[in-house]
Structure 1
Amino acid sequence: MVSPDLAGLLPKVQMKPSHETRHPLGNGGMQIMEAHSEADISKVLEYANKYDKTVNIVSGGTKRGYGGAIEQADILLSLAKYKGIVEHSAGDLTLTVKPGTTLKEITDEVGKKGQRVALDAPWPEMATIGGIIAANDSGAKRLLYGSARDLVIGTRIVYADGNVIRTGGKVVKNVAGYDMNKLFIGSMGTLGVISEITIKLRPLPKYEGLSLLYFPKGNEQKIREFSVFILDSMMEPVSIELLNPSVAEKMTGKNHYTLAISFEDRENAVLDQENWVDEHLPGEVEHSVLHAEEARQWWERFRHIGPNGYNDEKNEADTQAALKIGSNNLDVPVILETAEQLSKVYQVSVEAHGGVGHGISRIFIKGFPENIVLYIKALRSKAEERNGYAVCTHLPFKLRELVNVWGEKPSYFALLEGIKRTNDPKGNLNRQRFVGGI
């Protein structure tokens, strides 16, 4: 039965009580409300604001284990069916799209015009553009193309009271006033619900190549030196991603620390850069190259590493967790080696990779819950010793009660708190989902 006080708010087919009891990732809701339009979102939030109801927001569900200290809100607002392309201006290389559209759906559509969204977020057939933007998600190729913050040029936002605002615009050259988009990108849906996104596109590359460098002795110093060498060169890699042995074995069949160096350009330009890499290989380093479709398929498999919100095992011994570690880019080899060393101490299995160009590492953990908790705390401490940070991007709800997902409050927390209070004074939206329990 739909709650009586909700009758008539949306069509009955879009409202249903939740039958979930205790979802392992939490972030659910007692009443599911499916939005099919911006007006639907506005009505639900206006109602929630009026009657002091808490609202959790979901779409593809791939970020369900990312933050959140409340197991069930009063309302679970689903944007999964609020999808589709609003406008594709191929000549201007811009796209306006609804938040429930998956990254794969966007890729398939704009690809017909020889274009793409330069985001390589994981699980693209499940991850929606709204969730990617709300979490400021990205992949290995952010080295050249940037993250969501760099690509979004306009949004429409539904505030907690149901009012709608527009930030930015629909053209790339838009420099008037403050860039309000960045306020909402990465805020985990705590400041407003994104109802429309305008994003910059790029042409599809003419050619793609992937150089794989295998370091059989796992020499951290040699990896670091070669990474500095290529970053200081005239080469323009799309990624310089370091894989730990377990990821490398899964992706290449070789159980060694491996650098995945990607190039995208005209065929001759890609081949010239790959030849340069081959000519400057460090001693005892093996090298293989994938081209065109082989390279694309490799990255497609790479984007399916780690938890996705649906593949958590019921077996407690295979509990999954994921960490995003930010550090100095040249500390990535040390971070990955430390992650592997600590995995032996705390008896967990670890798959890890990190961008030696951009400094973001991803650590995927499996093991018993109590071991995972100790492991996260130890690895976070090591990252912080190097002036880095560690955020849990996937963690079961019961473990989020034991581990501070975001780490300690930053020095500017009062500013974040003030922004939240201004945008959502009652704290209804994704309550306690963000830094410091915002």
Structure 2
Amino acid sequence: MVLSDLKFAFPDLAIEPGSIDSWLGNSGHVHVYPTSEKEVVGLLKFAHDHGKTVSVQGNGSKRGFGGLKESYDVLLSLSKYTGVIEHSPGDMVVTVKAGTPFHELQAYLAKHQQQVSLDPAMPHLSTVGGVIASNDSGPKRMGYGSARDIVLGLKVVYPDGTIIRTGGKVVKNVAGYDMNKLFIGSMGTIGVITEITLKLRPLPKCESLVFVSFQDNRLDELRSFVVKQFDSTLEPTAFELISPSLAEQLTGHKRWALAISLEDVESSVIYQENRVKQAVPKHTDVHIFRYEEARDFWNRLLSISPNGIGESAEQAEMKVGLKIGVKNIDVLQVLEECVELQQHHNLVVYGHGGFGHGLCHVVLQGTGGEVETAIQALRSIVQKLNGYAIVKHIPLFLRKIIHVWGDKPDSFFLFEGIKASIDPRRVLNETRFIGGI
């Protein structure tokens, strides 16, 4: 019924029958692929007026992130709404359509010696809109900041088809409330982001990765080294701790390791490399990678996260991804707990975490019962550290058991009020965000 109604109302819109996905959920009985903002507006107004629910996605890599529904009436995919709308190299600002693949935007900007200063998970699969809607970031958040630091403006379509603009297209824009923050990380529950204006930064003249591996689990030496480096004049863009099991995947050596990213002019980078080499304790191995080798390492690290493209219930073991936030130095304790979990459970556990920002990304691989136990154990240790643990990718049947966003915060009534005000008919991405919003 929805399919025929949509085809009649939008004869020029790309529409196809969908299917129910009981493994990851968040699918749609009908899939639509708008290529213009006008089509997005028309579709949302249709859904709003006819009581239909809409699931919003970019390329589908985050289908396992939040949500308690197998299928919505309509799956709105922005994967064909792509391209750069405006680029001002002199002002270092770009406006892009939300469905644009993240890696394609970076490749375009690289021709102008510029970049979007974000390093999200799965950059080869993610769209710009998906990165912003989920507030995704990686190890270089230490030097780059998060999406909230670089988004200058957004164009958003409300559930009733109303178009609004937030922010602007210039770097110095401080008038009024910063409405951008309302939509960044809201998982598409209060509006469909169609355009994003981003602040850019130049590509570094020189990029280096100093990879320090520690023998024999010398964690006291590792901790002491980290503290001393943060008290030094070192200016890394990333200071990432790598668990032994992940280091083995990336380098072939199962050891605790640090990946330190340095970006600057060549003389500065070489100076900082030498400072690190002089400061490392004995019984460590130091390897330095530059340019393409360094970028290849970070791309491989960012690709470890499980995702919603190509995953099915036929897999022997599931992969679950978590995002954990703690105080900087407590990253070590979180990853130590991951090692313990792998030793005492029938699980594969690996991850990395940033000493500069306290965010850890952990992957659990195993059966449902073992994964559920591991998540509870990690949340227990994180709670003692006054941190939080969000499950970023997990099958639907476990999302119905585990609160992927954790407990409702004291400010939940604000989230609830915003959702009720903007989307009272609960059209968009119902149950995808915290507290089932």
Q: Is the 8 A contact 1:312 1:320 kept in 2?
A: no
| Secondary structure at 1:153 match in 2 | strand
| Secondary structure at 2:8 match in 1 | coil
> For residues 33 and 9 of structure 1, what CA distance do their matches in structure 2 show?
13
Residue in structure 2 matched with residue 302 of structure 1 by the alignment: 301
For residues 196-241 of structure 1, give each alpha carbon's deviation from its aligned partner in whole angstroms, at most 9, with x where no partner exists: 0000111011011111111112233322222221122111101000
Residue in structure 2 matched with residue 4 of structure 1 by the alignment: 4
Q: Is the 8 A contact 2:64 2:393 kept in 1?
A: yes
CA 1:275–1:342 in structure 2 vs 1: closer, same or farther (change >3 Å)?
same
Residue in structure 2 matched with residue 178 of structure 1 by the alignment: 177
Q: Is the 8 A contact 1:43 1:162 kept in 2?
A: yes
Q: Is the 8 A contact 2:85 2:97 kept in 1?
A: yes
Any residues of structure 2 matched to 1:280-429 within 5 Å, and which?
280-312=279-311, 314-429=313-428
Residue in structure 1 matched with residue 249 of structure 2 by the alignment: 250
For residues 303-340 of structure 1, give each alpha carbon's deviation from its aligned partner in whole angstroms, at most 9, with x where no partner exists: 21121212436455421100000001110000000012
Q: Is the 8 A contact 1:346 1:374 kept in 2?
A: no
Any residues of structure 2 matched to 1:14-29 within 5 Å, and which?
14-18=14-18, 20-29=19-28
CA 1:240–1:311 in structure 2 vs 1: closer, same or farther (change >3 Å)?
farther
The reply to whether residue 216 of structure 1 matches residue 205 of structure 2 is no
Residue in structure 1 matched with residue 117 of structure 2 by the alignment: 118
Q: Is the 8 A contact 2:20 2:27 kept in 1?
A: no
Provide TM-score, normalisation by structure 1: 0.97
Q: Is the 8 A contact 1:316 1:368 kept in 2?
A: no
Q: 1:59 Cα shift?
A: 1.2
Matched residue type, 2:206 = Y
Q: 1:23 Cα shift?
A: 4.5
> For residues 52 and 419 of structure 2, what CA distance do their matches in structure 1 show?
17
Q: Is the 8 A contact 1:2 1:17 kept in 2?
A: no
Query: What is the aligned length?
Result: 437
CA 1:204–1:4 in structure 2 vs 1: closer, same or farther (change >3 Å)?
same
- Segment drifting more, 198-207 vs 246-255: 246-255
Q: Is the 8 A contact 1:223 1:333 kept in 2?
A: no
Q: Is the 8 A contact 1:316 1:369 kept in 2?
A: no
Q: Is the 8 A contact 1:2 1:15 kept in 2?
A: no
Residue in structure 2 matched with residue 262 of structure 1 by the alignment: 261
Instruction: State, as a whole percentage, how many aligned pairs show the same letter.
Output: 47
Matched residue type, 1:37 = S
Q: Is the 8 A contact 1:350 1:363 kept in 2?
A: yes
| Secondary structure at 1:430 match in 2 | coil
- Segment drifting more, 193-202 vs 298-307: 298-307
> For residues 76 and 158 of structure 1, what CA distance do their matches in structure 2 show?
16
> For residues 59 and 287 of structure 2, what CA distance do their matches in structure 1 show?
36
Q: 1:112 Cα shift?
A: 0.8
The answer for unaligned runs of 5 or more in structure 2 is none
- Segment drifting more, 269-278 vs 297-306: 297-306
- Give the root-mean-square deviation of aligned CA atoms: 1.4
The answer for unaligned runs of 5 or more in structure 1 is none
For residues 30-77 of structure 1, give each alpha carbon's deviation from its aligned partner in whole angstroms, at most 9, with x where no partner exists: 111211111111111111111111110111111111001111011101
For residues 108-140 of structure 1, give each alpha carbon's deviation from its aligned partner in whole angstroms, at most 9, with x where no partner exists: 111111101111112212100000000000111
Q: 1:94 Cα shift?
A: 0.5
Q: 1:432 Cα shift?
A: 0.4
Q: Is the 8 A contact 1:82 1:99 kept in 2?
A: yes
Provide TM-score, normalisation by structure 2: 0.97
> For residues 321 and 136 of structure 1, what CA distance do their matches in structure 2 show?
19
> For residues 280 and 16 of structure 1, what CA distance do their matches in structure 2 show?
60
Q: 1:13 Cα shift?
A: 5.1
Q: 1:427 Cα shift?
A: 1.3
Q: Is the 8 A contact 2:16 2:32 kept in 1?
A: yes
Matched residue type, 1:66 = F
